[in-house]
Amino acid sequence: MAEAQARVLVVDDDPVNRLLLARSLEREGHQHSAADNGRRALKLLRAEPFDAVLLDVLMPELDGYEVLAEIVGDPTLRHIPVIMISALEELDSVVRCIEMGAEDYLPKPFNPVLLRARLSGCLTKKRLYDLERQHVRNLFSRFVPEPVVDEVLRRTDADLRLRGVRLDGTVLFSDLRSFTPFAEALPADDVIEVLNDYLSEMSDAVLDHGGTLVAYMGDGVMAVFGAPIEADDHADRALTAAREMLRERLARFNSWLRENGFPDGFRMGIGLNSGPLMSGTVGSLRRLEYTAVGDTTNTASRLEKLTKSTPHSILIADSTRQRLRHQPPDLAFVDEHEVPGRQSRIKLWTLADFSHH
């Protein structure tokens, strides 16, 4: 792994040192760029991707300490391993640099075999980091819209957890009616195929409108809008996604069922509620999941369950209606309802087209 070609930045104000290091890197098959001062080094680091930095401690203008502090303090650069280049009598300087975050050091005059060993260890670590980052990117991109994956990753901490934040968002719960008895009468392969088709349709509706998929619960979906990346129009996005789920996605899914020999279509229920959320990743190092918790989430779940005992396919809390930037003409008042777990009754709304009897 460490033998693969890497891009290394050499930072040294001594042209002879730069030349010697460049030749050693070329012999090992690595690409390299060189900077004769700290300012130039930081400019290159922010303009091009590098796998490692060989950084001299003593330089005019911006010395190795200052460059290292900039690298360690920049979330976009801190994952690049830095090997300090230092004369043996500057051992105290090396210790200080390693305490600041440098990965290793190379004594002057440097030994090519030692350079290979030091660099090999750093590159292995860097490639493991890149692989892990890619794995997490793939993981996040499954439930976060692609445009916000980079922003989500930027907000993760060292162990790739998304730190907990409190923000205002809209939670959507959906559920497919009468799926359990349907599933019990079918072979397992058919059940999974039907479920996958349904969940693919509903997931696309969430992701296409900037929502985050939080969980699948059998045939149920939990999604949140406005988290983990804040969005002022989260209520509008959630309602648009819900409308699409009911009008276009469910109709297409039922049509697909008929084409595959299942004549009876399904109905579904959706609950929408808006308010404060606590959002972040939970779990262990071996298994992480993104979640959004709090009373807002619990109420959205209860509204979805409430659709089972009302003629409405969707119930929208007044808290969501109040946050809509554009109130659609088909928004219809239902009633004030008692919701389990809530002390006061909640005003509920629906979309006029989506009632079943």
Local confidence band at 159 (pLDDT 50, 70, 90 cut-offs): low
In the numeric block, the tokens 């050693």 are attached to 24
pLDDT above 80 for 136: no
Higher local confidence (pLDDT), 142 or 78: 78
Tell me the C-alpha distance between 26 and 129, whole Å: 24
Tell me the C-alpha distance between 321 and 332, whole Å: 10
In the numeric block, the tokens 């890197």 are attached to 25
Beta bridge partners of 84: 55, 105
Query: Six-digit token pair at 5?
Result: 């070609």
Tell me the C-alpha distance between 159 and 285, whole Å: 8
Tell me the C-alpha distance between 245 and 218, whole Å: 17
**Structural domains in the chain?**
7-142 (3.40.50.2300), 146-351 (3.30.70.1230)
Beta bridge partners of 347: 336
Tell me the C-alpha distance between 264 and 262, whole Å: 6
Local confidence band at 141 (pLDDT 50, 70, 90 cut-offs): confident
* Residue 192 DSSP SS3: helix
Percent of the chain with pLDDT over 90: 61
Of the listed ranges 22-26, 34-38, 177-181, the one predicted with least confidence: 177-181
pLDDT above 60 for 267: yes
Confidence at residue 66, expressed as pLDDT on a 0 to 100 scale: 95
Asked if residue 330 lies in contact with residue 351, where contact means CB atoms within 8 angstroms, the answer is yes
pLDDT tens digits for 294-317?
999 999 999 999 999 999 999 999
Average pLDDT over residues 116-122: 92
pLDDT tens digits for 48-100?
999 999 999 988 888 999 999 999 999 889 999 999 998 767 778 888 999 99
Tell me the C-alpha distance between 255 and 78, whole Å: 52
Average pLDDT over residues 154-161: 60
Average pLDDT over residues 89-112: 87
pTM check: above 0.85: no
Average pLDDT over residues 24-45: 94
Tell me the C-alpha distance between 266 and 264, whole Å: 7
Tell me the C-alpha distance between 185 and 349, whole Å: 36
Average pLDDT of the chain, as a whole number: 88
Average pLDDT over residues 150-162: 63
Confidence at residue 145, expressed as pLDDT on a 0 to 100 scale: 64
Tell me the C-alpha distance between 351 and 314, whole Å: 7
Q: Half-sphere exposure of 282 toward its Cβ, with a 13 Å CA cutoff?
A: 8
Local confidence band at 228 (pLDDT 50, 70, 90 cut-offs): confident
Strands (E), 90-246: 104-108, 165-176, 212-217, 220-225
